Amino acid sequence: MKNIGFDIITIFPEIFHAYLGESILKRALQKELFDVKVYNLRDFTTDKHRTVDDYPYGGGPGMVMKIEPIYNAVKAVKSADYKNGLERLTVMLSPQGKAYSQEMAEGLSEYLARENRRMLFICGRYEGIDERVRESLVDEEISIGDYVLTGGELAALVIIDSIARLMPGVLGDEESAREESFTWGILDYPHYTRPPEFMGMKVPDVLLSGNHKEIWKWRRREAIKRTLQRRPDLLKRAELSEEDKEILEDINRGLCSEE
């Protein structure tokens, strides 16, 4: 039997049940395309107050998450891995981690697709996690962006969501057939639906023309134009076809002559 999924260690399990209990991920879980197991870190404490944090050595503000409960939780989650022939990637979420990207989501979805692979997320709260957790229990430390969240839970959900939607069968045909932002390494083109005109704002004629070749060219051009205007950094890294490069030169000429 395939064993693909995500394990999460957190002090707020409900956050995961709320998000994963809706929409596309709910459907995917019902179809058993993968599974998610959420572990309450407090269940792995040994004192009567179920303590997960303590004061920082050296002083300073805030509390630090203790290593013992996390160690106990990771050991418990991994206990049957060897017996089950399971390979696992243990991830810690923090702003100090490697910057998350669509490319990483694609790599991780391929990793899990080989079956008998799971990911384990350790979600931190408070000022941080005892450094010895990273040193001894973690394979990858990941950040979802240059800002600070109140905990790793949202980051874990962002990562799970972005990986899950790349797994076979998770998106319906209609959803997955779409050429979308970042699969090209550039931003998405603009979308429109009915009505063709709203308060004087018209849908571009080409989209109503039924000419699929022209529509494709228009979308590609708009996507490249947006990326040039909003995220030129992406264009430098994107793999552009010869046709794309011509479009880009065209846009550049257009932009210059408008000035």
**Residue numbers at the binding site for ligand ADE (CB under 6 A):** 93-95, 143-145, 147-149, 152, 155
Residue 156 or 248 with smaller CB distance to ligand ADE: 156
CB 34 within 8 A of CB 115: no
Cα–Cα nearest to 185, from 236, 144, 225 = 236
Residue 109 or 143 with smaller CB distance to ligand ADE: 143
Residue 148 or 177 with smaller CB distance to ligand ADE: 148
Closest separation between CB of residue 80 and ligand ADE, Å?
A: 28
Residue 36 or 129 with smaller CB distance to ligand ADE: 129
CB atoms inside a 10 Å sphere around CB 241? 10
* Strand spans (E) along the chain: 4-10, 35-40, 53-54, 64-65, 87-99, 117-122, 128-129, 140-143, 197-198, 201-202
Quote the CA–CA distance of 168 and 89 in Å, as a whole number.
20
- Specify the amino acid at residue 86: L
Cα–Cα nearest to 44, from 84, 71, 13, 80 = 71
Say which residues have a Cβ less than 8 Å from residue 166's Cβ, sequence separation at least 6: 105, 106, 109
- Specify the amino acid at residue 47: D
Closest separation between CB of residue 121 and ligand ADE, Å?
A: 10
Residue 148 or 256 with smaller CB distance to ligand ADE: 148
Closest separation between CB of residue 52 and ligand ADE, Å?
A: 16
Q: Please report, for the chain, how many H helices and E strands are present, in that order.
A: 11, 10
Closest separation between CB of residue 119 and ligand ADE, Å?
A: 14
* DSSP-derived 3-state class of residue 6: strand
Residue 13 or 190 with smaller CB distance to ligand ADE: 13
Q: How far is CA 80 from CA 83, 87, 233, 235, in A?
A: 5, 11, 44, 45
Closest separation between CB of residue 20 and ligand ADE, Å?
A: 18
Closest separation between CB of residue 1 and ligand ADE, Å?
A: 32
Closest separation between CB of residue 244 and ligand ADE, Å?
A: 32
Residue 99 or 255 with smaller CB distance to ligand ADE: 99
